[in-house]
Each structure stands twice: as structure tokens, then as C-alpha cells.
Amino acid sequence: MRKVIQAFSILLTITALSSCVSIQKYRYLERRVTILEKSLQDSDKDGVIDGIDQEDHTPDNAEVDTKGRTLDSDKDGVPNYRDREPYDPPRTGEEVDDDGVVVNRLPRPGTGTNGVTEERVREIVDEVLSGFNLSSGSTLAEWFLPMIHFGAGSSKIEYNDYGTLASVGRVVTHNPEIRLVVEGHADDTGPTNFNNYLSYQRAKAVVDHLESFYGISRGQLVILWKGNTIAIVPAKSSYLNRRVEFRVANYNDYEIDPPPKPPGKK
């Protein structure tokens, strides 16, 4: 597009020199080119060009939609970049603070004296699971905790996983007696030492996130790293293999030392 505008500018100059159009017409066309050039700029550096950007001064690191508007995913009035719980919409009657955290959380339907209690829910789930052939030592928590995935060669947590981590954070916060294993994995596209360190970095990034956003004690979180030794799918560079898994720690789960940092790795 910029090359088209540059070519158009050259054409205007040639046309003006040939006296085929009036000076007024040339000035008008020149102004139009200037406007087009400005519309292709991204003044607030949000990834959306000014020509379609509906917010001229997006804050740094703020998520935006295709029109450059700051995202507020849970519609609580606090934009994602300032929201500690960006995917946790308040229900009717609930209010949030400046960090987007509900300050007067109301009881969920069915949890009162005449409703279904959390203990009864666990009993029901256990009854259902008893009909499956679960391996010895499996626990309810192991089967229902989610996992998150990462880009190739990256340990950066993606925004679409913030909701998943919010769920994990609430589980651990409401169960301070448990320890949680945070286990990092890598795909099979790089050397072993690189994959080992990358899987550790992914697990550590998640632990740092849970500490920072949800105030979880570091003593409740156990970092394990597996490199590329445990693949979910056989594809060498599969997105599914670049992951962090969670499970409730057993009595013999202890954090292992970080692997050596590969040469040149930041």
C-alpha cells in the first residue's frame, strides 16, 4: 500500500510539471496523499493503523480488538490490561474493585442450606468416576485440572489461557492444604538441553503468574520439568506437546533443581 502511495505521489509530480492539471487540483490531490499516508501510521503502537483505529491513545501493552478498542473481556468496566481477573464477569449484585476483582462475591445458586453442597458435588463426581477403570492412585483433582499451551520456543503465557489459570488459582486458594505440581513440557524440535530449560521456564512462568495474580504461597507450588520426554501426540512440533500440566502433589513430589541454561539462552 505504501508503494502505491509513493507511486501516486511521483505521478502527481509528473502531472503537475506537465501542466495538465491546475495548481489547485494538484494541491488537493497532494493533501489527499498526505491524509492516506497518515492513516497508515500506528500512532499508539497497538497494532491497528490509524485509519481504522477508534481509540487514538491506547495504553502500552493493552489488548485491543480489530478496531483498536481496548478489550474488557468480562465486561466489568476494568480493561484487560489492568484486570487481575480478566475473564471472570461479575454477576448481578456483585461489584469489582479497581483491579477487576469481585469484592462482594455472592453465593452461587444451589449452595445454600437447601442446595447441593460442594461436598455432595464431590461425592456425586466420585460415584460417577467409580464406573471408570481409573489407574491405581488416581485422584479426582488429577483428572479435572486443565493444562495450558505455549508458542514454539516460548515460555510466554498467552492471554487466552488467563481464564484457565484463574480457575487453577481459585482451586489452590480455596484449598490451602494442598500442594500443586506445575509440570513443564516441550516439543521435540530442538536439542535436549534447550528443551529441558524451556520446559522449566514454562513451569516457572506459570508459578510466577499464580503467585503474582492470586497470592498463592510459593510453598504450595512444586516445579517439575520434563523437557521433550513425555509427548501427548507423536507429531514432532505439535502445539499440544508445548504445555504445562497441573496435578495435586503426592507426598513424594519434591521440586527439582533447574536444568543448566543452554549457551546463548537469555
Tell whether the model's pLDDT for residue 24 goes beyond 50.
yes
Look at residue 84 in the predicted model and tell me its pLDDT. 85
Residue 127 is predicted with a pLDDT of: 61
The larger pLDDT score, comparing residue 2 to residue 51, is at 51
Rounded Cα gap, residues 5 and 266, in angstroms = 41
Q: What pLDDT, in 10s, does the model give residues 161-176?
A: 998 899 899 888 888 8
pLDDT of amino acid 66: 79
Predicted confidence (pLDDT) at residue 53 exceeds the cutoff of 70: yes
Q: Cβ(222)–Cβ(200) under 8 Å?
A: no
pLDDT of 17 over the 60 cut: no
User: What does the pLDDT read at residue 120?
Assistant: 58
Which stretch of DSSP H or E encloses residue 27?
helix 23-39
215 or 120, greater pLDDT: 215
SS (H, E, C) 94-162: CCECCCCCECCCCCCCCCCCCCCCHHHHHHHHHHHHCCCCCCCCCCHHHHHCCEEECCCCCCCCCHHHH
Partners of 102 in the β-ladder: 96
Average pLDDT, the chain: 78
- What Å distances lie between residue 180 and 3, 110, 219, 248, CA to CA? 55, 28, 9, 5
**Topology of the domain covering 138-248:** 60s Ribosomal Protein L30; Chain: A; (3.30.1330)
Give the CA angle between residues 224, 230, 233 to the nearest 5°: 135
Stretch 94-101: mean pLDDT: 88
Distances, alpha carbon 212 to alpha carbons 2, 82, 116, 205, 243, in Å: 43, 13, 33, 10, 20
More confident residue, 35 or 89: 89
pLDDT in tens, 179-236: 899 999 999 988 999 999 999 999 999 999 999 999 999 999 999 999 999 988 887 7
Q: How many CA atoms lie within 13 A of 99 on its CB side?
A: 8
Q: Is the pLDDT of residue 122 over 90?
A: no
Residue 148 has pLDDT above 50, yes or no: yes
pLDDT of amino acid 39: 64
Average pLDDT estimate for 102-107: 81
Per-residue pLDDT, 141 = 45
* Structure confidence at residue 233 (pLDDT): 82
Instruction: Give me the pLDDT at residue 2, please.
Output: 55
Stronger pLDDT, 259 or 84, i.e. the higher one: 259
Whole-model pTM: value is 0.49
Quick: pLDDT tens for 238-259.
888 999 999 888 888 889 899 9
Give me the pLDDT at residue 93, please.
86
Percent of the chain scoring above 90 in pLDDT = 27
Residues 234/167, Cβ–Cβ less than 8 Å? no
Query: What ranges make up the beta strands (E) of the chain?
Result: 147-149, 180-184, 221-225, 243-248
Read off φ and ψ for residue 224, nearest 5 degrees.
-125, 150
